[in-house]
Structure 1
Amino acid sequence: MKTTIFLLFIAVSGSAFSQSFKYPIMNAQGKTIKALIPPQWKVVDSAYGDLNNDKVEDLALIIEFYAAVKENRAYGDNTTELITELQRPRILAVYFKTGRNYRIVTQNNNFVLRSEEGGAMGDPLRPMSINDNKLSLAFEGGGTWRWKLGYSFKYLNKDWQLTNANNHTYHSTSGEMNDKQYDFLTKKRVVTIGKTDNSLLTNETTEQPLTLKGLRTFTNFKKPWTWELGPDEYL
């Protein structure tokens, strides 16, 4: 009886907690990662590198809440298909190094996939990196058919513009694969079709022009898989 009451209390408490959850505002500045992290959150990934071309190493963080809460997550397009899920929220925060302090430039509560969004492969988050003044995020998941997604953002005109991306799908048994590399600055798409164990000489690669109405930034790109570039083509 006591066990039943205790479990009921946990369920009710968890429900109430999830309904009252609010994302914290990240600390505006600090000298260390520890000084930047809100209580009850932990770092799950970090990267250093020059993001604003001032020859100083900046900082990008992905942090995760300690408990699962109810979140409305976008699927399909950015607005019409929302699914409520119970999972641990994640935040992407980017800081520029100014003097001895890191100063926040961006806080994004939506774009980073959660630990339960990778399908049979588990947590889809892969290590992020900073190279050539670009912040690159990577995800991988699926089951028999698997996918790898990569996105590179650059700080342009006081926003984070998506400059490059890739969408790689493959069959875990047959090795059948389809790889798409996007360059949004040159407006080109390179598509490779074939097998994962074949050389580039035997796979078929074509270059195609990209016709887009507008480019994506952290402001208007809700999360992976929600940008419909064309019929049956999502990124």
Structure 2
Amino acid sequence: MRLKIILFFLSCQTAVYAQNFKFPALPNQGKSLSDFIPKNWKILDSVSGDLNQDQVKDMAFILEYHQQIRESRAYGDNTTELITEIQKPRILAIYFKTKQGYQLAAQNNNFILRSEEGGAMGDPLRPMGIDKNQLSLSFQGGGEWRWKLKYTFGYQQKNWTLEKASNYYYNANSGELTDKQYDFVNQKMMVTTGLGKQSKAPNETITHDFKVKSLRTFESFKKPWTWEINPDEFL
């Protein structure tokens, strides 16, 4: 009985501590990756490559907090549909390489999906990538219906702009699939539909113009699944 009481009070203290959680402000400058990891946070993924076209390797990494907290996350759009979940917060950090070391280029506390947001497939986070001065962020999840999301950001005019994206979803049993590829810079969209390998009929691909008023950034595109591109079509 005494052990149960002690465990109960420990859980209460953890819950109170979690309510006081605040995202840390990452260091503005440093020499190496270890200089940027706050106390009680760990590295989940990191990648290096040239992001600002200066021919030197910059770096991006994802941090995760050591315990779960109550966190309100947007679904459906950026403001009205908020769901409170118990999960470990994550941070995306981007640093540019300089002669003095590394300089903070972006800290984003919202865009990276948490470990509980992948459905039956578990943690949705997939490895990051840097290619042709662009940073790609990938996620995967679902159950019978599964989805794969990829977002490619470029550094333009001192801002991180969403330049390309893909939304691929398919049925694990029937093979039915839809693959949407978005090119926001050239304002083109390519849509492939079909039954995949379970059908002898070839998949059908249609390419058409895709107009956007302005390119999305980390600030205007809060997290995956919150941009309603067309009615009932979310990215």
Q: TM-score of the superposition, structure 1-length normalised? A: 0.97
User: Where does residue 156 of structure 1 map in the other structure?
Assistant: 156
The residue correspondences of 1:187-198 to structure 2 (distance < 5 A) are 187-197=187-197
Whole-angstrom distance in 1 between the partners of 2:6 and 2:84? 26
Native 8 Å contact 2:174 2:198 kept in 1: no
Residues 130-188 of structure 1, C-alpha deviation per residue, up to 9 Å, x if partnerless?
A: 00000000000000000000000000011100000000000111111000000000111
User: Where does residue 60 of structure 2 map in the other structure?
Assistant: 60
**Consecutive unaligned residues in structure 1, runs of 5 or more:** none
CA 1:156 to 1:15, structure 2 compared with 1: closer, same or farther past 3 Å? same
Native 8 Å contact 2:111 2:223 kept in 1: yes
Q: TM-score of the superposition, structure 2-length normalised? A: 0.97
Secondary structure of 1:127 counterpart: strand
User: Where does residue 21 of structure 2 map in the other structure?
Assistant: 21
Residues 174-228 of structure 1, C-alpha deviation per residue, up to 9 Å, x if partnerless?
A: 1110000000001111000012327998110001211223221011111000000
The residue correspondences of 1:9-158 to structure 2 (distance < 5 A) are 9-158=9-158
Number of positions where the alignment pairs a residue of Structure 1 with one of Structure 2? 235
Q: CA RMSD in A?
A: 1.4
| Structure 1 stretches of at least 4 aligned residues deviating more than 6 Å after TM superposition | 198-201
Whole-angstrom distance in 2 between the partners of 1:128 and 1:199? 32
Q: Give the counterpart letter for 1:202 in structure 2.
A: P
Native 8 Å contact 2:147 2:167 kept in 1: yes
Secondary structure of 2:18 counterpart: helix
**Consecutive unaligned residues in structure 2, runs of 5 or more:** none
Q: Give the counterpart letter for 1:205 in structure 2.
A: T
Give the C-alpha shift of residue 116 in structure 1.
0.7
